[in-house]
């Protein structure tokens, strides 16, 4: 598969270049030059395939010219010891649970695949790299878990001190080995700025092969298409068209759904569900894209004012607003509506949702009311509710169960290196102190 930059069509890259550069030099986004179709034979029998078999087939369809099938099998085998089950919530609506991975958020699907495919390329070339990642919460945990003990890769995570939840902080700071957590006395924006500066620094580039694990890396996008196929495999027997509602922030998740659709997955419609950070729903209504500064909400992993995958999302529809409108509807909700949805589903189905999931649920219900058509609805659950335990318990007025995986973390001592948000301090750590 050849990739091109959304800003300069003839700026091309191989898979390996796209993965290790993360961004093209012109600051566009890498896009596949053409999108191959999944085979009809496979789709005819997909209901009998496991999650891993689906992941292998999708990867082989996209990347089979670069990586042999047996290598793809071992990449998928290494990446996934968890799945994406659907659970029935109303007579026609299912939740697609994407929180069964090590960090209990859907970002595990992207991070684990990215780690496995980077490790494959590194072993071939005998190189070592250092991943730098700034996190406001969930990304860091998924990346830390994804790259933990992967040979040839060390990981440095920058997070804003006091601004991530207890569980999130423990996920970053308790692994050790090749994962180092830098606790920055500043904001997420400071963390991001430090990472950007590091990539521009000549001395650091000379000392290390620096790489990024941010959400626009194509190696995180591709694997997020797997679970759309997996949902279809589980629901195909119902024989109805599928509508996916996707709780969105940077729009990587929804873009991956559209990639699956472009590969031939039968999808009737997508719902781009957001909180008050609603640049994409507004674009879908008005045709004008006006990103704004981000607003704080209770679904904070979606507090993105200017979504980084917007360009990719529209490019999948050849930047044609009418085409995207036929396939994607927008919906956005405030915190009160989100909490109401959490209580509604808990009352009706005894099912506990995180606030992000609730936004998607609500988007699906409103779409059903508006269209009155008969379909199977799937809303994506992007995190386990226990990751947001304070908010969830307060909303439902009831204590909820915390999975052992998260509970045991709280007893482990955190290990972080505190630093001021100064590039000189960051650089000297990288040059001298870090393993």
Ligand X SMILES: *Cc1c(COP(=O)(O)O)cnc(C)c1O
Q: Per-residue DSSP letters for 387-412?
A: GGHHHHHHHHTS-----HHHHHHHTS
Beta bridge partners of 428: none
- Smallest distance from ligand X to CB 128, Å: 28
Site for ligand X in 177-216 (CB under 6 A): 215
**CA dist., res. 267 & res. 261, Å (int):** 6
Beta bridge partners of 94: 88, 378
Scanning the structure block, which residue is given the tokens 């440095």? 156
**CA dist., res. 26 & res. 14, Å (int):** 16
Give the Cα-Cα-Cα angle 133, 11, 252 (nearest 5 degrees): 40
The residue from 4, 113, 159, 251 that contacts ligand X (CB under 6 A) is 251
Q: Per-residue DSSP letters for 171-214?
A: HHHS--TTEEEEEESS-HHHHHHHHHHHHH-HHHHHH--EEE--
- Smallest distance from ligand X to CB 244, Å: 13
Task: Rank residues 154 and 278 by Cβ distance to ligand X and give the closer one.
Answer: 278
The residue from 83, 138, 183, 190 that contacts ligand X (CB under 6 A) is 138
Produce one character per residue of 189-218: b if its CB has 16 or more CB atoms within 10 Å, e if not: ebbbbbbeebeebeebeeebebbbbbbbbb
Tell me how crowded residue 385 is: count the other CB atoms within 10 A of its CB.
27
Task: Rank residues 204 and 353 by Cβ distance to ligand X and give the closer one.
Answer: 353
Task: Rank residues 63 and 279 by Cβ distance to ligand X and give the closer one.
Answer: 279
Q: Count residues near ligand X (CB under 6 A).
A: 16
Q: Which residues contact 218 (CB under 8 A, 6 or more apart)?
A: 3, 15, 18, 19, 30, 32
The residue from 101, 249, 330, 377 that contacts ligand X (CB under 6 A) is 249
- Smallest distance from ligand X to CB 248, Å: 4
- Smallest distance from ligand X to CB 189, Å: 17
Coil, helix or strand at residue 274:
strand
- Smallest distance from ligand X to CB 259, Å: 12
Q: Which residues contact 413 (CB under 8 A, 6 or more apart)?
A: 174
- Smallest distance from ligand X to CB 392, Å: 12
Task: Rank residues 86 and 129 by Cβ distance to ligand X and give the closer one.
Answer: 86
Q: Which stretch binds ligand X (CB under 6 A): 21-29, 54-62, 178-186, 250-258?
A: 250-258
Site for ligand X in 352-381 (CB under 6 A): 356
Task: Rank residues 122 and 324 by Cβ distance to ligand X and give the closer one.
Answer: 324
Q: Which residues contact 344 (CB under 8 A, 6 or more apart)?
A: none
Structure-block tokens of residue 263: 């590969």
Task: Rank residues 119 and 212 by Cβ distance to ligand X and give the closer one.
Answer: 212
**252 near ligand X, rule: CB under 6 A:** yes
Q: Which stretch binds ligand X (CB under 6 A): 66-74, 243-251, 395-403, 404-412?
A: 243-251
Site for ligand X in 271-310 (CB under 6 A): 301-302
Task: Rank residues 6 and 309 by Cβ distance to ligand X and give the closer one.
Answer: 309
The residue from 250, 294, 338, 339 that contacts ligand X (CB under 6 A) is 250
- Smallest distance from ligand X to CB 267, Å: 17
Q: Which stretch binds ligand X (CB under 6 A): 19-27, 143-151, 242-250, 327-335?
A: 242-250
Active site residues: 107
Task: Rank residues 169 and 426 by Cβ distance to ligand X and give the closer one.
Answer: 169
**CA dist., res. 169 & res. 171, Å (int):** 5
**CA dist., res. 277 & res. 205, Å (int):** 36
The residue from 140, 247, 363, 421 that contacts ligand X (CB under 6 A) is 247
Structure-block tokens of residue 269: 């419609």
- Smallest distance from ligand X to CB 247, Å: 5
- Site string (90-129) toward ligand X, x via CB under 6 A: ---------------x-x----------------------
Coil, helix or strand at residue 50:
coil
- The contact set with ligand X (CB under 6 A) reads 105, 107, 138, 215, 247-253, 301-302, 356, 382-383
């Amino acid at each position: 598969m050849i990739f091109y930059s959304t800003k300069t069509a003839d700026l091309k890259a191989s898979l390996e270049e796209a993965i290790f550069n993360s961004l093209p030099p012109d600051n566009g986004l890498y896009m596949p030059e053409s999108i191959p179709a999944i085979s009809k034979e496979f789709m005819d029998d997909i209901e009998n395939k496991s999650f891993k078999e689906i992941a292998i087939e999708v990867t082989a369809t996209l990347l089979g010219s670069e990586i042999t099938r047996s290598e793809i099998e071992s990449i998928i085998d290494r990446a996934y010891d968890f799945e994406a089950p659907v659970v029935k919530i109303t007579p026609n609506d299912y939740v697609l649970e994407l929180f069964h991975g090590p960090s209990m958020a859907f970002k595990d699907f992207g991070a684990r695949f990215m780690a496995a495919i980077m490790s494959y390329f590194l072993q071939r070339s005998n190189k070592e790299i250092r991943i730098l990642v700034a996190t406001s919460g969930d990304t860091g945990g998924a990346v830390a878990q994804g790259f933990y003990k992967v040979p040839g890769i060390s990981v440095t995570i920058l997070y804003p001190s006091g601004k991530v939840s207890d569980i999130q902080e423990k996920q970053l700071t308790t692994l050790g080995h090749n994962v180092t957590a830098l606790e920055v006395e500043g904001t997420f924006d400071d963390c991001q700025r430090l990472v950007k500066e590091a990539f521009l620094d000549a001395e650091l580039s000379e000392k290390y092969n620096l790489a990024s694990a941010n959400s626009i890396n194509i190696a995180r996008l591709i694997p997020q298409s797997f679970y759309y196929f997996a949902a279809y495999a589980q629901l195909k027997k119902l024989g109805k068209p599928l509508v996916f509602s996707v709780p969105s922030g940077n729009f990587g998740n929804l873009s991956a759904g559209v990639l699956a659709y472009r590969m031939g997955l039968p999808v009737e419609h997508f719902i781009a569900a957001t909180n008050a950070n609603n640049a994409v729903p507004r674009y879908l209504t008005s045709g004008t894209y006006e990103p704004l500064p981000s607003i704080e909400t209770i679904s904070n992993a979606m507090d993105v004012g200017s979504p980084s995958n917007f360009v990719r999302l529209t490019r999948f529809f050849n930047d044609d607003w009418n085409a995207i409108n036929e396939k994607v509807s927008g919906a956005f909700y405030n915190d009160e509506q989100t909490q109401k949805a959490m209580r509604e589903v808990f009352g009706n189905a005894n099912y506990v949702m995180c606030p992000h999931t609730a936004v998607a649920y609500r988007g699906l219900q409103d779409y059903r009311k508006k269209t009155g058509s008969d379909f199977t609805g799937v809303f994506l659950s992007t995190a386990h509710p226990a990751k947001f335990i304070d908010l969830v318990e307060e909303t439902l007025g009831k204590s909820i169960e915390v999975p052992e995986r998260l509970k045991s973390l709280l007893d482990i001592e955190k290990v972080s290196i505190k630093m001021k948000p100064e590039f000189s301090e960051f650089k000297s750590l990288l040059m001298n102190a870090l393993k």
